[in-house]
Amino acid sequence: MPIHEYRPAELEPRKLSSEEIANPYEVINELFSYGHLPQLREALWEWLKLGVSSSNHHESQRDRANLLYLYEKMEKLIEAAHIIYQRKRSQTT
């Protein structure tokens, strides 16, 4: 979908604080403070398995809470990456 088909508000961060908007690289630091690359890969795999398998109910409440926390971090990471992308793009045009 072309970017012009989105409402302007849809292109703005919703989850980032003003400090994170000013320094989106901090979001990356926070993500890797939460877990190392192998741990994040494993968590994403577990997240996918939970999402596609309704019979996968053996995860503990803590496991599910950790996956929700990771989801929130990933959502912020996507917003931070968007800010970095837009800033880079505006520098080259």
Q: What is the pLDDT of residues 46-70, one digit of tens each?
A: 888 877 775 656 667 887 788 888 8
Torsion of CA 2, 26, 73, 78, to 10 degrees: 10
85 — pLDDT class (breaks 50, 70, 90): very high
Neighbours of 28 (CB within 10 A): 15
> Tell me, what DSSP letter sits at residue 53?
-
Q: Is pLDDT at 19 greater than 80 in this prediction?
A: yes
Within a 10 A sphere around the Cβ of 26, how many other Cβ atoms? 16
Q: What is the pTM of this model?
A: 0.76
Look at the alpha carbons of 8, 10, 14, 19 in this order and tell me if their dihedral is positive or negative. negative
User: What average pLDDT does the chain have?
Assistant: 87
